[in-house]
Amino acid sequence: MSEPNFDHLTLVTMPEAATLATHLGHELAIGQWGKDGKVWNLAITCETCQEIVLDYDVIPDPQPDPQPEPDLTEFEKGIADLLDDNQPGDE
C-alpha cells in the first residue's frame, strides 16, 4: 500500500493516553485497512484483550488530482472567438 499522509493527525490526546495506559504490558499491534493501494484507516489493537484501542480514519490527500480541461463545444469556441475579437482597445 502507498504511504498515507499523516500531516492532519495530532499527537495523542490525554483521553487517548489514558486508554493506552490501561493496556500497559499487553501485546499491541497496528493494522491498516484500505483499498486500491490507499490507506483509509489505521488502528492500534490489543492482542491480549482482543479489542481496538485507538482507531484513526486517514483523510485522503486534500489536493485532488487535477482534472483535464473539458473540450469546448463549437458554440463555446465561437463565443470565445467573439470575445477575443472584441477586446477593449481593438479598433
Q: Give the domain ranges of the chain.
A: 14-85
- Give the chain's residues under pLDDT 50: none
Residue 29: the pLDDT is: 95
* Partners of 39 in beta bridges: 34
Which pTM was predicted? 0.49
Residue 36: the pLDDT is: 81
Q: What is the DSSP letter of 91?
A: -
Residue 56: the pLDDT is: 85
Residue 26: the pLDDT is: 94
Residue 37: the pLDDT is: 80
